[in-house]
């Protein structure tokens, strides 16, 4: 005979004892939730209050002073760093606040854009920054077609400029092939250019201001252009001092103007030719 298995399932259908409802528990949870909401609200109020204080107009940096600059203008610097001044800090603040101001990005921008030797940025309460720049020394503007660059003392590109400036001697490059890289002249070539620049000032001086040197493929012929109209033919491979001294004697001997002649050729020792 097989065993009959039974299972008492009827108990589950009997009435159960009601569970106790802990009303205090729900009230405590509700209070905790309300406290969190209040804390969040106070945090938002605090952040906006802090923002209103830190972004107060009298703490907003809007006075920029540039020191020791010769080629760079205040306007150029302001344009270069404007985006960094208004950059966002900590999501809702700006870098133009006196207390939040970070000078490092501006330092990097100015060093690269203007090829400086150094730049020092300091802030003064409540809304001033002082920028002291140390520019690379430039005496020449290198001109190739419509491209203009200041050159450093080694003949390498310093920084690009927009317009000619009569403070500098213009080196108009007419060569068919220009060296790649920043160095546009060899050490010997830039040495000759420096010698012409210095000796002209020493020997010729105010008799005729030198404003431009036309440089072609042949260094046996450089054309030195003056502000009075005529130009001077010079051989950069020969004694530059002797040639300019001969020019000085010619200018000292007579009142020569650009109306009288087109050029003076001083490449052949004591024999000076006019046209």
Do both 148 and 130 map to the same domain?
no
Residues 185 and 256 in one domain: yes
pTM of the shown model: 0.70
Give the helix ranges, DSSP H, for the chain: 23-54, 74-85, 104-113, 187-199, 240-253
Are residues 172 and 123 located together in one domain of the fold? no
* 31 domain residue, yes or no: no
Q: How many CA atoms lie within 13 A of 109 on its CB side?
A: 17
Backbone angles phi, psi at 96, to 5 degrees: -85, 5
CA distance 119 to 261: 48
Phi, psi of 40 (to 5 degrees): -60, -45
What does the DSSP 8-state code read for residue 203?
Answer: I
Q: How far apart are CA 234 and CA 222, in angstroms?
A: 5
How far, in Å, CA of 93 to CA of 88, rounded?
6
Tell me, yes or no, whether 249 and 157 share the same domain. yes
- The CATH number linked to 236 is 3.40.50.11690
Q: Confirm whether 212 is domain-assigned.
A: yes
Q: Which domain holds residue 70?
A: 58-134
Tokens of 144: 């190739």
- Domain endpoint, select from 116, 134, 152: 134
8 A C-beta contact, residue 251 and residue 267: no
Buried-exposed string 218-234: b where 16+ CB fall within 10 A, e elsewhere: eeebbbbbbeeebbbbb
Q: Which of 114, 134, 154 is the last residue of a domain?
A: 134
Among 134, 151, 182, residue at a domain's last position:
134
* 147 part of a folded domain: yes
Are residues 142 and 110 part of one domain?
Answer: no
| Each residue's pLDDT expressed in tens, for the chain with a length of 275 residues | 445 454 555 455 555 555 555 555 556 666 667 777 777 777 766 666 665 665 667 678 889 999 999 888 889 998 999 888 888 776 667 788 888 889 999 999 999 998 899 999 999 998 899 999 999 888 899 999 999 999 988 899 998 988 998 889 999 999 999 999 999 999 999 999 999 999 999 999 878 899 999 999 999 999 999 998 889 999 999 999 999 999 998 888 766 665 678 899 999 988 888 88
- Domain count across the chain: 2
Are 129 and 143 members of one domain? no
- Rounded distance, CA 151 to CA 57, Å? 42
129 & 223 share domain: no
Same domain, 129 and 148: no
> What CATH number corresponds to the domain at position 94?
3.10.20.310
3-state secondary structure of 202: helix
Q: And the tokens for 260?
A: 């009288």
């Amino acid at each position: 005979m097989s065993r009959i298995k039974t299972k008492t399932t009827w108990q589950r259908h009997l009435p159960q004892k009601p569970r106790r409802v802990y009303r205090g528990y729900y009230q405590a949870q509700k209070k905790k939730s309300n406290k969190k909401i209040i804390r969040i609200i106070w945090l938002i109020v605090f952040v906006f209050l802090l923002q209103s204080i830190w972004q107060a107009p009298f703490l907003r940096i809007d006075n920029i002073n540039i020191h020791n600059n010769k080629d760079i203008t205040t306007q150029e610097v302001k344009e270069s760093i404007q985006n960094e001044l208004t950059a966002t800090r900590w999501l809702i603040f700006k870098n133009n606040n006196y207390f939040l101001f970070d000078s490092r990005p501006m330092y990097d921008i100015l060093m690269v854009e203007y090829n400086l030797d150094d730049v020092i940025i300091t802030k003064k309460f409540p809304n001033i920054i002082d920028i002291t720049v140390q520019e690379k020394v430039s005496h020449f503007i290198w001109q190739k077609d419509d491209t203009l660059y200041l050159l450093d003392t080694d003949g390498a590109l310093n920084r690009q400029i927009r317009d000619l400036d009569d403070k500098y001697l213009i080196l108009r490059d007419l060569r068919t092939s220009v060296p790649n890289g920043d160095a546009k002249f060899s050490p010997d070539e830039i040495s000759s250019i420096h010698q012409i620049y210095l000796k002209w000032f020493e020997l010729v001086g105010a008799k005729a201001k030198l404003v431009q040197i036309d440089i072609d493929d042949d260094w046996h012929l450089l054309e030195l252009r003056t502000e009075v109209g005529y130009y001077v033919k010079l051989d950069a491979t020969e004694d530059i001092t002797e040639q300019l001294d001969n020019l000085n004697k010619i200018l000292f001997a007579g009142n020569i103007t650009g109306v009288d002649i087109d050029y003076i050729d001083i490449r052949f020792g004591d024999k000076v030719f006019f046209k």
